[in-house]
Amino acid sequence: MSTLASVSILLPTKNGERYLSEVLQQLSTQQGNFQLCEIIAIDSGSRDRTVEILQRHQVRLWRIQPHEFGHGKTRNFAAAQARGEFLVFLSQDATPADEHWLENLLAPLREDPLVAGAFSRHRPRPNCHPMEWHRIVAYELHSQSEEQVYSAVGNPDYEQNPARYRIFANSSSVIRRAVWEQIPFPEVEFAEDQAWAELVLKAGYKTAYAAKSVICHSHGYGPWVNFCRHFEHARAMRELFAQPRSLAWRNCFSWAVQGARADLAFWYHQNGQSKAAVLRRWALPAVSWHLAANLGLWLGERTDALPPRLSSRLSLQERRKRQ
C-alpha cells in the first residue's frame, strides 16, 4: 500500500478577519490522495478577530511581533515548524475555489520529481474593481488556463526572458520540503517567491503553474495603496534582479490613459453595460489607478536615489507593519 503524501498548510496572518473564516472552511473540504496533517498560522500582531477565528479551528498558532515579520523570514519560520513532506503556502485572503484545489496543486510535483514547487491559478473575487479584474484575467501569468512547467537548464529562452520563468506566487503555492531544506526562501521584504523560484531554477529544478488549482484572490486597492504596491514591486525587481528601467516620467500619464481605456472597453464587454454607464462610473477611478501605478513604478525603479527613510514610508510592507 502506498503512503499518502503528508501536507502542511502554512498561513501568515495579520488583520485577516474579512476572508479568514471562509478560507479555513474551504481548507476543511479538500479531497484527494493526501494527508492534511496540519494548518500552521504565524500571526504578526492582528488587532481584529483574526486570532479568535484561528483558535476556533484546528490551527497550530504562533504569534510574532509586527516588526519581526518578513515575507521570506516568516515563511521560513513556518516551514521549520511543519511536519509535512509538502509545504503549502497560502495567503489569508486567498480562498480555494473548490474541494480539488489542493489535489490539483500537488499534481505537478507528483508527476515530475524535478518540479520543486507549483502555484495556483488566480480568479478575481466578485467585488473586484475593473482595473484589477482586467489585470488578473488578461495580463497576469497566473490566470491563464494552460498548465505550464518552467526550467532554466538547457533552455536558451531563459537567458533572454528570465522574468517569464521566475514567476511564482506564494498566495497559493506548494514546495517540496526537501527542496526548501536545501534552498529556503531568501529573507527579503518583497518578491521572496520569485527570488526563490530563480534560485531553484538555476539549481536545476523546475517550477510549475497548476492551472486546475484555483483560488479566489484579488485586491481592491485605491490609488495611494496601489502607488505603494507598484513602488515596492519595482524596487524589488531592481534590487533582486537588476531589472532595467522601463518607464519614463513623460509616459506616466499617457500610459495611464491608455490603460484606463483598455479597462473600460474590457468592462463593458465583460458585463454587457453601456459605454456611457461604464464611463460615468469608472473613467476617473481607472485613470487615477493607472496613474498611481505608473508613478509608483517610475519612482520604484529609481529607489537608489531616494533617502532610505522615504523609501520605507512608501513601502507597502512597512505600511502594513505599522497598522
Tens digit of pLDDT for each residue in 146-163? 999 999 998 999 988 888
- pLDDT (mean) for 187-197: 92
The grid cell for 6 is 503528508
Mean pLDDT of 271-289: 93
| Residue spans per domain, the chain | 5-216, 223-322
pLDDT computed for residue 242 by the predictor: 80
Q: Of 237, 172, 191, 176, whose CA–CA distance to 72 is shortest?
A: 191
Whether this prediction's pTM lies above 0.75 is answered by yes
Q: Residue 239 to residues 218, 221, 234, 243, 245: CA-CA distances in angstroms? A: 26, 24, 9, 8, 12
125-155 per-residue burial string, b: 16 or more CB within 10 A, e: under 16: beebbbbbbbbbbeeeebbeeebbebbbeee
* Euclidean distance between CA atoms 88 and 90, whole angstroms: 6
More confident residue, 206 or 142: 206
Q: Give DSSP secondary structure letters for 234-283.
A: HHHHHHHH-PPP---GGGHHHHHHHHHHHHHHHHHHHH---HHHHHHHHH
Average pLDDT over residues 198-211: 97
Dist. CA 151–CA 107, nearest whole Å: 17
Q: pLDDT at position 1, please?
A: 38
Mean pLDDT of 317-321: 72
In this prediction, residue 183 carries a pLDDT of 98
Residue 60 φ then ψ, to 5°: -85, 120
Q: What percent of the chain has pLDDT over 90?
A: 76
Pick the CATH number of 5-216 from 1.10.10.410, 3.40.50.1370, 3.90.550.10, 3.30.300.350: 3.90.550.10
Q: Is 306 helix (H, G, I), strand (E, B) or coil?
A: coil
CA dihedral 17, 18, 22, 25 (to 10 degrees): 0
Q: Where residue 212 falls among pLDDT bands split at 50, 70, 90?
A: very high
Across all residues in the chain, what is the average pLDDT?
Answer: 93
Going by pLDDT thresholds of 50, 70 and 90, the confidence category of residue 323 is low
Residue 268: is its pLDDT beyond 60?
A: yes
What pLDDT is stored for residue 285 in this prediction? 96
Lowest mean pLDDT among 71-75, 189-193, 244-248, 294-298: 244-248
Q: Tens of pLDDT along 234-255?
A: 998 888 888 888 888 889 999 9
Beta-carbon contacts of residue 171 (< 8 Å; ≥ 6 apart) = 90, 91, 94, 119, 120, 122, 215, 217
